[in-house]
Amino acid sequence: MSLRVCGLVSSSVVALLACATIAYCRDISGPISSTLTITDSSRLTGDVTCTVSGAACISIGASNVTLDLNGYSITGQGDPRTTGCSGAATPNEFGILVVMQRNVVIRGLGIVQQFRNSGIRLDNSSGGAVTGVTTSTNCASGIILLGGAADNLIEDNIAIRNGLRTNPCGGICLAGALRTRVRGNRAHGNGFAEQGANFGIGLPGALNEGNIIEQNTIGGNTNGIFVGAGSKGNFFRLNLIYGNPAVQIAFDHPSVTYGFDILNQAAAGDNVFEGNGCLTSINAPCPSVGPSFTADPNPIPVTGITHVGQTTLSWSAPDAQLVEIHIGSPNGPLLTLQGNRGTVQTGPWVPEGMTFYLQDVTGGKALTSNYTLATLVVHVQNSTTIAGVFDFGGRPQLWNGGALLVLLGFSLAGVRRGRRLRTALGGAAFLALILLGLPSAHAQSQAQPTVEHTSATLDKMMAEHKSQQQIAQYVFDTHGCKACHTVGQNGKLGFTAKGKQTAEGFEGCIRLLTDMTVIAQTPERQRSAQQQKKASRFQEFGCTFCHQITPGRLSLTGVGTKLSHLHLGCVDVQKTVAVRASR
């Protein structure tokens, strides 16, 4: 085994400082014959062959450690022709072991394979992540979390041909996990037919609660998703689960009564299954393979006089390749452009009754109702107090409530004869109903574009080969520039009334960004009053849509990076719009 340790062994303080200034403190490669315990961030620099018997190959013995497989493999002593073993698993012989640690990250690309027990085991560890790792032919599970492992992320991994004849095992196993998110993984060909509880992704046992299993692709396993009795409070959504078990298992074992896309042995209602694509199931819904479009939360809980909120939209549209979500109508404001399944968070601008349209835009399909895959109405739940009824601050629904009382008051005050009371009240009620019936589409039209919305729109415009002038005009029109600037007939930018007021004492965008480059290097508590004022203006003028303050420096956001590649900085947008207007 090749091993390089950073720092000075004779001084733990110097070693700690050395590790803080480089990416990795250990390089690992070659054979490992006894358990290698690492306590600082390490990486593979070559393939590892492990000959450790009855113990872990690599043990992570400290918190806040990253192990980067760096494109290499860790191979145990299991049988490569089967799932690592032909009989029972060898106790404690894991590929990577993490016990009672926090914030440990194991990341690929890389392979953990042929171990005579589980490939990766997280035992009573929390806040960690396993991402981008392939686990294959391990004699138990590819990845297993147990012993109260909590708040971990298992994402973008591949699990193939893992399983055990004698126990519930498979690709990814949660056997005592809490609040773990298992997302975007692929599990194929896991499990033995003889063991009815083998799976692609499974939650055997009664100690799994609050886990989210979402957007995984699971096929050709003994069971696709397996949920054991006693597991509760877990959420399964937007998973594609087909072809479980594989046809060969069904053919070779015709008398077997198990083997489903979803096999749920927990009590009905203990777990939530939503928007999954599947064909066969026990105690779980398998809807037709159609689009799913949901919001969480819905209704959105709000308090006080607030009448708008924020939610997360999730969708799955197997028959489409590219989808857009529009607000208010099939061709209304664009929220996002993405693949056929995913999630997106709105901003805090969703009013009562806002309708979202999931549109199939594969191959340039038109934004019409003919290609609307699904619609979703989002509600807002609020108990308005009497103080909120008299709010006239521009919030349509609450203003309407106040207007109702005012109109009734005027009508009653104008009544001089009893026979006119019915007419006055009727007129007031009629006007109030008109106000109360103002469409929520008004609020929808005021929705500010989110970062996701803008990023998706820019991607679409570039894909459609829109000109630099068209993209600049989009930014100018939708990101607050028009609120302060006007474009004259001669192509010069002027100021609106609000712009004149805002610009009073303002030294210009370039100067502000230059100053913020220095201010970003100053801790917030140590900034002068003038620096704090400029930082406030930086927020006020919407600069944070393209620029962000990261520790010690000013950098670009994702949207800012895209505009920079198009040579459309802040001033460039204004100049380009002005030139276009002058033509």
Helix H or strand E segment including 547? strand 547-550
| 67 or 559, higher pLDDT | 67
Q: Which of 434, 432, 300, 433 is nearest to 354 (CA)?
A: 300
Asked if 179 contacts 211 with a C-beta cutoff of 8 angstroms, the reply is yes
pLDDT of 43 reads: 95
Question: Residue 55's beta-bridge partner residues?
Answer: none
The DSSP-derived string for 267-285 is PTTSSEEES-EES-EESS-
In this structure, the chain runs to a length of 583
pLDDT of 431 reads: 42
pLDDT of 18 reads: 37
pLDDT of 62 reads: 96
Asked if 60 contacts 26 with a C-beta cutoff of 8 angstroms, the reply is no
- CA–CA separation, 332 and 98 (whole Å): 50
User: What digits encode the pLDDT tens for the residues 346-370?
Assistant: 988 899 889 999 999 988 899 998 8
> With pLDDT > 90 as the criterion, what percentage of the chain qualifies?
39
Phi first, then psi, for residue 531 (nearest 5°) are -65, -40
Phi first, then psi, for residue 429 (nearest 5°) are -65, -40
Confidence band, pLDDT 50/70/90 cuts, at residue 533: confident
Residue with tokens 């006080």: 304
User: What digits encode the pLDDT tens for the residues 228-287?
Assistant: 999 999 999 999 998 888 664 544 444 444 678 999 999 888 999 988 888 888 888 876
SS3 252: helix
pLDDT of 271 reads: 92
Q: Residues near 354 by Cβ (< 8 Å), separated by ≥ 6?
A: 327, 328, 377, 378, 440, 443, 444
373, pLDDT greater than 60: yes
Least confident of 267-276, 278-287, 376-385, 478-487: 478-487
Residue 448, both tokens: 């500010």
| 396 or 239, higher pLDDT | 239
**Strand locations in 104-250, DSSP E?**
105-113, 120-123, 129-136, 143-150, 153-155, 158-160, 170-178, 181-183, 186-188, 199-203, 212-214, 217-219, 225-227, 235-237, 240-242
As a whole number, mean pLDDT of residues 131-152 equals 95
Exposed e or buried b for every residue in 96-132, given b needs 16+ CB within 10 A? bbbeebeebbbbbebbbbbbbbbbbbbbebbbbbbbb
Least confident of 95-109, 142-156, 548-562: 548-562
As a whole number, mean pLDDT of residues 154-158 equals 96
Classify residue 3 by its DSSP letter: E
Confidence band, pLDDT 50/70/90 cuts, at residue 556: confident
- CA–CA separation, 537 and 554 (whole Å): 15
pLDDT of 463 reads: 59
pLDDT of 223 reads: 92
CA 110 to chain centre: 24
**Count of alpha carbons within 13 Å of 423, Cβ hemisphere only?**
7
The per-residue pLDDT of the chain, averaged, comes to: 78
289, pLDDT greater than 60: no
419, pLDDT greater than 60: no
Asked if 439 contacts 544 with a C-beta cutoff of 8 angstroms, the reply is no
16, pLDDT greater than 70: no
As a whole number, mean pLDDT of residues 455-475 equals 74
The DSSP-derived string for 313-347 is EEEE-TT-SEEEEEESSTTS-EEEEEESEEEEE--
159, pLDDT greater than 70: yes
Confidence band, pLDDT 50/70/90 cuts, at residue 151: very high
Confidence band, pLDDT 50/70/90 cuts, at residue 445: very low
As a whole number, mean pLDDT of residues 541-547 equals 74
Residue 69, both tokens: 């497989």
pLDDT of 503 reads: 64
| Helix, strand, coil percentages, rounded to 5, for the chain | 25, 30, 40
User: What digits encode the pLDDT tens for the residues 505-531?
Assistant: 666 666 677 777 777 777 777 788 887
132, pLDDT greater than 90: yes
User: What digits encode the pLDDT tens for the residues 234-251?
Assistant: 999 999 998 888 664 544
551, pLDDT greater than 90: no
pLDDT of 437 reads: 44
Asked if 376 contacts 294 with a C-beta cutoff of 8 angstroms, the reply is yes
pLDDT of 55 reads: 96
As a whole number, mean pLDDT of residues 196-202 equals 88
Domains of the chain with bracketed CATH: 2-282 (2.160.20.10), 290-465 (2.60.40.10), 466-582 (no CATH)
* Residue 369 falls in which region: left (phi positive, over 0), alpha (psi -120 to 50) or beta: alpha
User: What digits encode the pLDDT tens for the residues 72-100?
Assistant: 999 999 888 766 676 688 999 999 999 99
- CA–CA separation, 462 and 449 (whole Å): 18
554, pLDDT greater than 60: yes
Phi first, then psi, for residue 266 (nearest 5°) are -75, 165
Asked if 201 contacts 182 with a C-beta cutoff of 8 angstroms, the reply is yes
- CA–CA separation, 133 and 107 (whole Å): 6
Q: Which of 349, 303, 299, 307 is nearest to 328 (CA)?
A: 349
pTM of the predicted structure, to 2 decimals:
0.51
Neighbours of 265 (CB within 10 A): 15
Cis, peptide link before residue 245, omega less than 30° from 0: yes
* Residue 251 falls in which region: left (phi positive, over 0), alpha (psi -120 to 50) or beta: alpha
Helix 451-463 to helix 468-478 angle, to the nearest 10 degrees? 160
Least confident of 187-191, 387-391, 484-488: 387-391
395, pLDDT greater than 70: no
pLDDT of 22 reads: 39
Helix H or strand E segment including 580? helix 570-582
CA 142 to chain centre: 24
Residue 176, both tokens: 């005592």
Helix H or strand E segment including 457? helix 451-463
